[in-house]
């Protein structure tokens, strides 16, 4: 008998689990607002900006992840009906977060060091997350020549958002027919499984 799947935490639960020390870089807010503007127009962007606290975000300053979560959940709700549903929007926003990170100095350095080798790129993920986020632990385990797992503990972003982040990063590699799947172990703990050809 298999265990029942662990439900994804909703916004309210995530907000109660986060502490003031849990922060992320301003570039993720700015990229989110730009993506929402392109997908849903100025009114949708304004609503996400209000949800995030209506402050100016400097790319490399750190801000509470709770503010980003409020904006992300608002964007998914607003854009879901026209963009293929909530999960599709979360993936799009995750992809945008990766694009913004890869344009940063740290992101460019990561790509330069890892090159286009999938395993080397995966191995660089824990450090890349560490410089962007104050919270969570991430470890990468090689499972074979074209397979790996990343164990993510105490991460607040929705699973679908992270699938967008990870897929966009791996798209920079030589990996073909990439499949990334998430398996939730606890409200904030997910294992991401990668395989490719």
Q: Digits of tens for pLDDT over the chain (197 positions)?
A: 567 789 999 999 999 999 999 999 999 999 999 999 999 999 999 999 999 999 999 999 999 999 999 999 999 999 999 999 999 999 999 999 999 998 888 888 888 888 899 999 999 999 999 999 999 999 999 999 999 999 999 999 999 999 999 999 999 999 999 999 999 999 999 999 999 99
| Domain edge (last residue) among 103, 132, 163 | 103
- 13 located within any domain: no
Q: What is the pLDDT of residue 66?
A: 98
**How many domains in the chain?**
2
For residue 150, CA distances in Å to 60, 142, 180 come to 25, 9, 10
Question: Do 123 and 82 belong together in one domain?
Answer: no
Q: What is the pLDDT of residue 2?
A: 62
| Domain edge (last residue) among 103, 129, 151 | 103
């Amino acid at each position: 008998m298999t265990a029942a799947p662990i439900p994804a935490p909703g916004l309210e639960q995530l907000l109660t689990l986060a502490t003031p020390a849990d922060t992320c870089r301003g570039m993720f807010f700015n990229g989110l607002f730009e993506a929402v503007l392109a997908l849903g127009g100025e009114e949708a962007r304004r609503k996400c900006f209000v949800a995030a606290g209506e402050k100016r975000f400097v790319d490399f300053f750190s801000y509470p992840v709770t503010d980003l979560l409020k904006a992300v959940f608002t964007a998914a709700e607003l854009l879901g009906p026209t963009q293929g549903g909530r999960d599709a929007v979360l993936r799009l926003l995750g992809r945008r977060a990766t694009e913004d990170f890869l344009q940063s100095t740290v992101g460019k350095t990561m790509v330069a060091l890892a090159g286009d080798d999938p395993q080397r790129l995966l191995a660089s993920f824990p450090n890349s997350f560490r410089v962007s986020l104050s919270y969570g632990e991430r470890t990468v385990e090689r499972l074979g020549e074209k397979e790996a797992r990343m164990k993510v503990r105490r991460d607040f972003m929705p699973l679908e958002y992270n699938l967008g982040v990870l897929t966009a990063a791996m798209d920079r590699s030589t990996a073909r027919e990439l499949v990334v799947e998430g398996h939730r172990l606890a409200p904030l703990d997910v294992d991401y499984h990668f395989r490719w050809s």
